[in-house]
Chains A and B, each alone.
Chain A
Amino acid sequence: MANVNMSSGRKALLSKLATNDGHAENSPYFDGWKAYERNPFDASRNPDGVIQMGLAENQLCFDLIQEWLINNPQASICTAEGVDMFKDTAIFQDYHGLPEFRNAVAKFMGQVRRGVGKFNPDRIVMSGGATGAHELISFCLADRGDAILVPTPYYPGFDRDLCWRTGAQLLPVVCDSSNGFKVTREALEAAYIEAKEANIRVRALLITNPSNPLGTVLDRKTLRDIVSFINEKNIHLICDEIYSATVFGSQPSFISISEIIEEDQEICNHDLIHIIYSLSKDLGFPGFRVGIVYSYNDKVVECARKMSSFGLVSSQTQHLISSLLSDDEFVEKFLSESAKRLENRHQTFTDGLAQVGIRCLQSNAGLFVWMDLSHLLREKSFLAETDLWRIIINEVKLNVSPGSSFHCSEPGWFRVCIANMDEPTVEIALKRIRAFVVKGENAVVAPAKKKQCWQSQNTKLRLSFSFRKMDDLMMMSPHSPIPQSPLVQART
């Protein structure tokens, strides 16, 4: 609207930060979004559209929340029942957060961990979502140029969250399918030594438990190994437990880092332990930007709290959350129902995949499955993975996320989100996958190997897609499906 004249004069330059790729939006992970946004599935209006399976959202329990809301109008400061609290809430900008908010979150974290380990409300620090929390903790623990070790595969957003503005770098701890992608002591040591030899100072190890994208929980032995490793090296441990309440089934149960250090007080220096949390996945509230840094280190709590000024949770939202999470009865009901629904969803989907010979990594957490399509690759390479991925997006019409975008060391794995849609849509997705596999079985098999691989009906589909740098004008939120019309047509 405002007609901005592009002056032909010299333009004031921007910072290096503003002009580098640290925002990480040029990762191919975001290409699937384009296909979805151009042609989004809608059961009635666009039944042949692309189904979004690249977004780890939890949409299974909104009915429970909505029921609670209707019965609790005082939790809103806008309703007649709640407007008395409007002024006091609106003025409240103390970075300690509303005491009832901290108490409610601490209690909730304890409930999610089935009462194993108590959380101290005074250690709860707010941040702008887990995105803000990760950046914040990185600012507290690492200097520019320092490294944070992170097991692969890992959530692509970490590259931006921990490194962009902080100047830190991520170094991979390589995991592979030979042992279900578990983190081993050997892999940790190898990564640490490599950093040392390159003269890079390692400040922390970041683990996500339950894991994204694997959907697995870490076992006690692995956790203990990790803790003794970081303690020995005197480096920090950042535990992202954002999926803690998405664990279902009885075994294996979720073991929080809080449990490990509380059951064995001598295992490590508690000053090294920090938990990152958020309500975006467990409750399904990514829009509310409720991020939490919970540190066992007093100095970190103090520093983080001051830094939280840059990303506090809206007091209006704090008020709602404190009300919601203080309702013990509701929380218990929600946690148990949510786990049940996630379990059913997981079962339906993995059974459906199994029927056509597709295996997933054994898991019982998260909002996704880690699907193994390596048997469908024409060769064991990331280029082949990309080719297969393009086919899945453009012909099978499912936006799934290729393992390479998670820095996976082995090609052929895909993360498929399953909790962000209703049951009928899950069925449609499974139907499409079945059709795709069956078609592949009937197609001409590549001569060189007897392995099954998929080829186009007509010609051998030679996709020469290369990961082009996305145009700056491709303003796409890494979080959201809400479209901004892409200006470059994807090549098929």
Chain B
Amino acid sequence: MAIEINPVPSVQLSKVADSEKHGENSPYFAGWKAYDEDPYNEMTNPSGVIQMGLAENQVSFDMLEDYLEKHPEASIWGKGAPGFKENALFQDYHGLLSFRKAMASFMEQIRGGRARFDPERVVLTAGATAANELLTFILADPGDALLVPTPYYPGFDRDLRWRTGVRIVPIHCNSSNNFQITPQALEAAYENAESMNLRVRGVLITNPSNPLGATVQRAVLEEILGFVTRKNIHLISDEIYSGSVFSSSEFVSVAEILESRDYKECERVHIVYSLSKDLGLPGFRVGTIYSYNDKVVTTARRMSSFTLISSQTQHLLASMLSNKEFTSRYIETNRARLKKRYDMIIQGLKRAGIKCLRGNAGLFCWMNLSPLLQKPDREGELDLWKTMLHELKLNISPGSSCHCSEPGWFRVCFANMSEQTLEVALARIHNYMDQRKR
């Protein structure tokens, strides 16, 4: 008798689950793999891969640790843990008022007091990843488009598009003017979207920019504000690196411009922030949306139910960030240390004959290796990237992963390692460039 084999019917998942929009199949993840398999360690693995693809800020932890040692009240342990129960039960999506106040005040300090922030407009999310997705859900319908200047943070492909069904249409920027956003580029992007029958709902800029490591100039911000007003669309300003500007006076937040105009047309503006970069706490998942639009604040707050910040973490940071003496000292010291790192890497690269975009912020520099390309295209760039990864053992990020329209640019992180490690990395680059000359 024949044995009937019943095939197990295949189990279907959703279209979202099957899509590739999570972005993890991009070639540049091979860099992570190489690092994971052979990570550099000063003592145990000095010839390993140095991680320069991770925009982390590790230069200022000592200040945070020092604060904790002096301020036991930052912990919910306390004497006899009396605050623990209330804290563990607190799940209100408004968030701890003390934390919202501390966050608003911290954002003000970062902007040198040039803009005021109302704690009632601070909406909390578990990281900027969640904040950007959440805002997209609120401002755009599936199939709509957001305009984003290139080059941009690769994570946006997932954060803005994956579960929302929203499209990204690039605003092309290039090196002829240091990758600044021009009115022509804005218009071109808008028309491009229209020609694809996409409804544009907003512009999303990152200021200071990732991966450029540079602030957006005031005139450009004003241009963008004028553009979104004319088109009656939204502006999202991701200011996650605002505390990492080397010199406070060089950063202009969209918040300052709005305040100077008495908040005219402000309802279309929303700011995203997080403590992952400025304080170096990505593990704590602390993101925030600051919107000048009441309806957006209400809706965002409701949606934040899916991604609230742990009350334990809110308590810790409320304590830390309400201490203005501490925060102003931290901001100043952090800036100075980042600038020092930046100068170090720029000088080191210069000595090796490599130029970078003039930057003034962030945890990375935007390096120009286009003169080294075998072929002046994406393939040539990826080949060069593989050389960097496998020969020099440096995991850096190729511009193509950031949707840069010009091949040959690379983002190189410098704040997630010790100075010694940075020296090692620079030495490897130097040697490579020397060898090339011969």
Give the B-binding residues of A (Cβ under 8 A).
1-7, 9-12, 14-18, 23, 25, 57, 59, 62, 65-66, 69-70, 73, 76-80, 83, 86-87, 89-93, 128-129, 131-132, 135, 139-144, 146, 160-161, 164-165, 203, 234, 236, 269, 271-272, 280, 284-289, 297, 299-300, 303, 306-307, 309-317, 320, 472-473, 475, 477-480, 482, 484
* Residues of the A chain whose Cβ atoms lie less than 8 Å from the Cβ of B252: none
Measured as residues with beta carbon below 8 angstroms from the partner, the interface class of chain B is 35 or more
**Given contact pairs A91-B58, A300-B17, A315 touches B301 in the complex (Cβ within 8 A):** no
Inter-subunit contact B284/A165 (CB<8 Å): no
Inter-subunit contact B311/A2 (CB<8 Å): no
In order of increasing CB-CB distance, the 10 nearest A-B pairs are A315-B283, A287-B311, A78-B75, A480-B92, A314-B310, A93-B282, A482-B92, A286-B91, A287-B90, A271-B11
* Residues of the A chain whose Cβ atoms lie less than 8 Å from the Cβ of B322: none
Inter-subunit contact B232/A128 (CB<8 Å): no
Instruction: Tell me if B378 is interfacial: C-beta within 8 Å of chain A.
Output: no
Inter-subunit contact B308/A129 (CB<8 Å): yes
Interface centre among B158, B201, B299 (most CB of A within 10 A): B299
Instruction: Tell me if B432 is interfacial: C-beta within 8 Å of chain A.
Output: no
**Given contact pairs A285-B88, A473-B298, A479-B305, A310 touches B14 in the complex (Cβ within 8 A):** no
Inter-subunit contact B89/A287 (CB<8 Å): yes
| Option from B17, B142, B295, B303 in Cβ contact (under 8 Å) with A139 | B17
Q: Give 13 pairs: A residue, B residue, CB < 8 Å, sorted on A.
A: A1-B116, A11-B268, A12-B234, A78-B74, A86-B61, A87-B58, A286-B90, A287-B88, A289-B310, A303-B13, A306-B22, A310-B163, A320-B312
Instruction: Tell me if B56 is interfacial: C-beta within 8 Å of chain A.
Output: yes
Inter-subunit contact A62/B11 (CB<8 Å): no
* Residues of the A chain whose Cβ atoms lie less than 8 Å from the Cβ of B311: 287-289
Q: How far is the CA of A160 from the CA of B305 in the complex (A)?
A: 10
Instruction: Tell me if B330 is interfacial: C-beta within 8 Å of chain A.
Output: no
Expressed in whole angstroms, the minimum distance between the Cβ of A141 and any Cβ of chain B is 6
Instruction: Tell me if B64 is interfacial: C-beta within 8 Å of chain A.
Output: yes
List the one stretch of B65-73, B218-226, B338-346, B355-363 in contact with chain A.
Answer: B65-73
Expressed in whole angstroms, the minimum distance between the Cβ of B255 and any Cβ of chain A is 9
* Residues of the B chain whose Cβ atoms lie less than 8 Å from the Cβ of A139: 14, 16-17, 163
Inter-subunit contact A310/B312 (CB<8 Å): no
Expressed in whole angstroms, the minimum distance between the Cβ of A290 and any Cβ of chain B is 8
* Residues of the B chain whose Cβ atoms lie less than 8 Å from the Cβ of A312: 126-127, 285
**Given contact pairs A17-B138, A140-B16, A299-B13, A484 touches B94 in the complex (Cβ within 8 A):** yes
Instruction: Tell me if B267 is interfacial: C-beta within 8 Å of chain A.
Output: yes
Q: How far is the CA of A470 from the CA of B121 in the complex (A)?
A: 21
| Option from A14, A66, A83, A306 in Cβ contact (under 8 Å) with B139 | A14
| Option from A9, A66, A236, A310 in Cβ contact (under 8 Å) with B307 | A310
Expressed in whole angstroms, the minimum distance between the Cβ of A330 and any Cβ of chain B is 14
* Residues of the B chain whose Cβ atoms lie less than 8 Å from the Cβ of A482: 90, 92, 94
* Residues of the B chain whose Cβ atoms lie less than 8 Å from the Cβ of A79: 72, 75, 77
Residue interface bits B144-185, CB-to-A below 8 A is 1, else 0: 100000000000001000110000000000000000000000
Q: How far is the CA of A57 from the CA of B17 in the complex (A)?
A: 33
